[in-house]
Amino acid sequence: MDILIAGGGIGGLTAALALERFGHTVRVVEQAGVIQEVGAGLQISPNGMRVLNALGLSARVMRDAFRPEGIEMRMGRSGRVVFDVPLRRKGEGRWGAEYVHLHRADLIEALKDMLLERASDALLLGRQVERYTQDSDGVKLHLVGGEVLEADLLVAADGIHSVIREQLLGPDVPRFTGNVAWRATVPMTELGDLIPPPTACAWVGSKRHAVTYRLRRGSLANFVGVVERRDWKVESWAEEGTREDALKDFRKWNPIITRLIERADVLNRWALFDREPLESWYDGRVVLLGDACHPMLPFLAQGAVMSIEDAYVLADALKRADSVAGALADYEGRRKPRTAKVQAGARANAKLFHRAGPIGRATTFGPMAIGARIAPEFVKSRLDWIYGHDVTDVPVAKPPNK
């Protein structure tokens, strides 16, 4: 098939690679003039790494990755460990792949480079989507400026404000969650002896939490801090905040957190939005993928990974079905229950991480700490449904000879 993909982010590029690998011709339409990624860190859990492994990307990705020693939770002010889950060999043996930390720009670069190696003309940059039309024979993508592209299928991977999703399902407004996130990266050499642990670490507190981990083989510290507030709803990864405001939000927190804020060159902040699960993900020859249909809160670190899973399942569904309609129904049927469950889990973690009041924190995190010491395998088992999920449990079709 000839397939158009709107959006050159992680979901769109992974979809392009998966679809090309299964023998389709792909074109990625991106409104930016250059493929790049704003933002900072990503956690790619084993369920996402299985897909990258299947697509032949693991060696390229690991070149820039950091391999954390574990996943842990700490109290935001004292730094006391609530629980920790070892990774490395233990995690790989349990879940079938590694858990890695990546800079978003590094993953985008790896995806883009491999796509251009396989299909040198697959990227159409500087094209802005206006609308689509379709009939039983194909779909047309109309671009700003009058250009029209034709294909057998259109994949909308154009994010939470998807133009294609709005045309497909009608206008709506994503739900503001009442949370605003800070983000920054800081060279480890700037932090002295106050460096974040070599883990994926959630620091929890009253109506706020922070996440720290390392990037680029451990040379860079990544910080995300989430605070409950209702008076700021700007959803822009490029919006800058002041150091004074960030320090105020994390006043009296552990010195590791405040040192990260103090040494960051730039502190960006953005409001966190999501939406309830959609009734349908496709219509005719148009299908949604990633944040266009299931934007995720970052509290399970699964937003990018869900898009990666989507991409592989869509390619597999098209391989198995006798028709486009059958393939898209199969894709939606496999993905909608899982992504809805992950969305719900992320929302639940927001409440868990932000327990207010000393009694609420003691009655929540105290039993968690005791349980982690008494029954460590139980803590791991709580992650099995996410990390042990394998969308690549069928053989990948070999690339056709060209």
Listed in sequence order, the residues at least 6 apart from 127 whose beta carbon sits closer than 8 Å to its beta carbon are 29, 30, 31, 143, 144, 147
Q: How far apart are CA 186 and CA 223, in angstroms?
A: 8
Q: Is the dihedral of CA 166, 109, 240, 303 positive or negative?
A: positive
Q: Is residue 312 flagged as an active site residue? A: no
Nearest CA to 386 out of 328, 347, 343, 354 is that of 343
Q: How far apart are CA 311 and CA 54, in angstroms?
A: 12
**Cβ distance 211 to 260 under 8 Å?**
no
| Token pair listed for 256 | 């590791």
Listed in sequence order, the residues at least 6 apart from 146 whose beta carbon sits closer than 8 Å to its beta carbon are none
Write the DSSP string, 274-341: E-PPPS-SEETTEEE-GGGT----GGGS-HHHHHHHHHHHHHHHHHH-SSHHHHHHHHHHHHHHHHHH
CA distance readout (Å), 71 to 130, 161, 364 = 43, 32, 18
- Phi, psi for 43 (deg, rounded to 5): -105, 120
Residue 107 CA, distance from chain mean position: 11
Q: Which of 132, 213, 312, 387 is catalytic?
A: 213
Angle between helices 303-320 and 10-21 (to 10 degrees): 30
Phi/psi class of residue 7: alpha, beta or left (left: φ > 0; alpha: ψ in -120 to 50)?
left
Q: How far apart are CA 301 and CA 280, in angstroms?
A: 24
Residue the block writes with tokens 């249909």? 293
Angle between helices 324-353 and 303-320 (to 10 degrees): 160
Query: Which residues are the active-site residues?
Result: 213
